[in-house]
Structure 1
Amino acid sequence: MRAIGFEENGGPEVLRTVEVPTPDAGPGEVLVRVAYAGVNYAEVQHRLGDFGPPDPLDIPGMEASGHVAALGENVSGLAVGDPVAVYLPDGGGYAEYAVAPARFAFPLRTSLGEIDLRTAGGVALVLPTAYGVLAGAARLRPGDSVLIHAAAGGVGSAAAQIARALGADTVYGTVGSSDKAEYAKRFGYDAVFPREDFLGVVRDATGGRGAVGGPTRLASLEVLAPFGRVAFYGEAARHPDLNLPLLPLWKNNRALTGYNIGDVSRRAPDLLRTHGLAALELVASGSVHIDVTDILPLAAAAQAHERMQAGRNVGKTLLAV
Structure 2
Amino acid sequence: MRAVGFDVIGGPEVLRQVELPVPAPGPGEVLIRVAYAGLNYGEVQHRLGDFGAPDGIEVPGLEGAGEITALGPGVTGLAIGDPVAAFLPSGGGYAEYAVAPAEFAFPLDGISLRDGAGVLALTTAYGVLAGAARLAAGDTVLIHAAAGGVGSAAAQIARALGAAAVLGTVGSPAKAEYAKRFGYDALHPRETFADLVCDVDVVLDPVGGPTRLASLDVLAPFGRVVVYGEAARHPDLELPVQPLWKNNRTVSGYNIGDLARRAPARVRAHALSALSLLSSGAIRLDVTAERPLSEAAEAHRALQSGSTMGKVLLRVG
**TM-score tier (shorter):** over 0.9
User: Aligned-residue CA RMSD in angstroms?
Assistant: 0.8
Secondary structure in structure 2 of the residue aligned to 1:64: strand
Give the C-alpha shift of residue 127 in structure 1. Answer: 1.3
Summarize the alignment of residues 188-227 of structure 1 with structure 2, pairs less than 5 Å apart.
188-203=183-198, 209-215=199-205, 217-227=212-222
Give the C-alpha shift of residue 211 in structure 1. Answer: 3.9
Corresponding residue for 1:19?
19
Gaps of at least 5 residues in structure 1 are 204-208
Corresponding residue for 1:168?
163
Q: State yes or no: 1:37 paired with 2:37.
A: yes
Corresponding residue for 2:269?
274
Q: State the alpha-carbon separation in 2 of the partners of residues 235 and 129 from structure 1.
A: 14
| 1:212-246, Cα deviation, whole Å (9 max, x unpaired) | 32225221000000110000101111111111111
Q: State the alpha-carbon separation in 1 of the partners of residues 203 and 314 from structure 2.
A: 32
Contact preservation (8 Å) 2:147, 2:310: yes
Corresponding residue for 1:62?
62
Secondary structure in structure 2 of the residue aligned to 1:226: strand
> TM-score by structure 2 length?
0.97
Contact preservation (8 Å) 1:33, 1:68: yes
Secondary structure in structure 2 of the residue aligned to 1:171: strand
Secondary structure in structure 2 of the residue aligned to 1:227: strand
Contact preservation (8 Å) 2:144, 2:203: no
Corresponding residue for 1:153?
148
Q: State the alpha-carbon separation in 1 of the partners of residues 187 and 160 from structure 2.
A: 19
Contact preservation (8 Å) 1:70, 1:80: yes
Contact preservation (8 Å) 2:202, 2:226: no
Corresponding residue for 1:72?
72
Q: 1:119 aligns with which of 108, 115, 121?
A: 115
Q: State the alpha-carbon separation in 2 of the partners of residues 316 and 136 from structure 1.
A: 22
Q: State the alpha-carbon separation in 2 of the partners of residues 143 and 149 from structure 1.
A: 19
Give the C-alpha shift of residue 144 in structure 1. Answer: 0.2
Corresponding residue for 1:206?
none
Q: State yes or no: 1:309 paired with 2:304.
A: yes
Q: Which amino acid aligns with 2:50?
A: D
Contact preservation (8 Å) 2:137, 2:163: yes
Give the C-alpha shift of residue 122 in structure 1. Answer: 1.5
Q: State the alpha-carbon separation in 2 of the partners of residues 240 and 296 from structure 1.
A: 32
Give the C-alpha shift of residue 210 in structure 1. Answer: 3.5
Contact preservation (8 Å) 2:125, 2:157: yes
Q: State the alpha-carbon separation in 1 of the partners of residues 153 and 200 from structure 2.
A: 22
Corresponding residue for 2:135?
140
Larger CA deviation: 275-284 vs 229-238: 229-238
Larger CA deviation: 311-320 vs 209-218: 209-218
Q: State the alpha-carbon separation in 2 of the partners of residues 142 and 39 from structure 1.
A: 31
Secondary structure in structure 2 of the residue aligned to 1:33: strand
**Is the alpha carbon distance of 1:210 and 1:276 closer, same or farther for their aligned partners in structure 2, counting shifts above 3 Å?**
closer
Corresponding residue for 1:88?
88
Q: State the alpha-carbon separation in 1 of the partners of residues 200 and 118 from structure 2.
A: 32
Q: State the alpha-carbon separation in 2 of the partners of residues 256 and 47 from structure 1.
A: 28
Give the C-alpha shift of residue 128 in structure 1. Answer: 1.3
Q: Which amino acid aligns with 1:214?
A: L
Q: Which amino acid aligns with 1:24?
A: A
Q: State the alpha-carbon separation in 2 of the partners of residues 212 and 315 from structure 1.
A: 22
Contact preservation (8 Å) 1:212, 1:227: no
Q: State the alpha-carbon separation in 2 of the partners of residues 309 and 72 from structure 1.
A: 36
Gaps of at least 5 residues in structure 2 are 207-211
| 1:14-62, Cα deviation, whole Å (9 max, x unpaired) | 0000000000010000000000000111101111111111111110000
Give the C-alpha shift of residue 67 in structure 1. Answer: 0.3
Q: State the alpha-carbon separation in 2 of the partners of residues 147 and 122 from structure 1.
A: 22
Q: State the alpha-carbon separation in 2 of the partners of residues 15 and 212 from structure 1.
A: 37
Q: Which amino acid aligns with 1:177?
A: S
Secondary structure in structure 1 of the residue aligned to 2:192: helix
> TM-score by structure 1 length?
0.96
Q: Which amino acid aligns with 2:7?
A: E
Summarize the alignment of residues 234-313 of structure 1 with structure 2, pairs less than 5 Å apart.
234-313=229-308
Contact preservation (8 Å) 1:34, 1:93: yes
Fraction of identical pairs, as percent: 68
Q: State the alpha-carbon separation in 1 of the partners of residues 281 and 163 from structure 2.
A: 17
Contact preservation (8 Å) 1:133, 1:215: no
